[in-house]
Structure 1
């Protein structure tokens, strides 16, 4: 009679064995297509990026939106609620911080958030936007967007809405 722990051990062994076989197969396939890292070539040590969703609210309702963001969605995080995770994210020493949503520029406190990030984070900052609110924003915000675009290692990305 086979004991329960023997069956468990066999299942675990079989699972681990399958994982190892799959890794070997993958490794060999990568070698066949000459996909490998050349350790003699310098590579960027820190290429870590974090995407932070500021809001689920959006001025559009794009069918392809992964968040199903819409004008009816509500902001869940207050300005102070946003600052705490940003501090923790910055502590990780990442290369790029990406702000997204919904639509980040729909937030009334977006300038304060951008200023806070720029004061505490000197690496690359990206803001993903549908671009629809840029025309409607105040002169002050337009001035700030130009500043963010001209800031070293900062960019503004616009995606096409459908």
Structure 2
């Protein structure tokens, strides 16, 4: 089983067709502690794969910490991203924090 979590509403692109109407950070986004609790609950519910999506998840300052935490909990971490913020350094950071794959949208 897999779950996709829209980690943030923030996005560096403002696509007219975006179903999330993403752009600016929402005031009710989870804190790091709340996000870790959500990850624990997702694992306890029996999910095996967790897709970190958005908005643009790379705009969330704690995304690597959360990916690492999910991996430590035994989840397979995957990132759904527009890819525009991935540099060689970010790619290394993604791998080091446990992300197993990235789905890049071509909108």
Question: Normalized against structure 2, the TM-score is what?
Answer: 0.85
Q: Alignment partner for residue 111 of structure 1, among 61, 64, 67?
A: 64
| Larger relative helix fraction | 1
Partner of 2:21: 68
Whether 1:142 aligns to 2:91 is: yes
The separation in 1 between residues aligned to 2:84 and 2:37, in whole angstroms, is: 28
Map of 1:1-80 to 2, 5 A cutoff?
A: 48-70=1-23, 72-74=24-26, 76-80=29-33
Secondary structure, counterpart of 1:61 in structure 2:
coil
Please state how far the C-alpha of 1:95 moved relative to its aligned partner: 2.8
| Structure 1 segments unaligned to the other structure (5+ residues) | 1-47
The separation in 2 between residues aligned to 1:60 and 1:159, in whole angstroms, is: 12
| Larger relative strand fraction | 2
Partner of 1:158: 104
Partner of 2:84: 132
Map of 1:84-103 to 2, 5 A cutoff?
A: 84-103=37-56
Partner of 1:82: 35
Please state how far the C-alpha of 1:120 moved relative to its aligned partner: 0.8
Secondary structure, counterpart of 1:82 in structure 2:
helix
Please state how far the C-alpha of 1:73 moved relative to its aligned partner: 3.0
- Greater relative contact order: 1 or 2 (C-alpha under 8 angstroms, separation 6 or more)? 2
Give 1 or 2 for the bigger CA radius of gyration: 1
- Alpha carbons 2:6, 2:52 under 8 Å: kept: yes
The structure-2 alpha-carbon separation of the partners of 1:128 and 1:57, relative to structure 1 and needing over 3 Å to count, comes to same
Question: Normalized against structure 1, the TM-score is what?
Answer: 0.58
- Provide, for residues 19-41 of structure 1, a one-character-per-residue CA deviation record: whole Å limited to 9, x for no partner: xxxxxxxxxxxxxxxxxxxxxxx
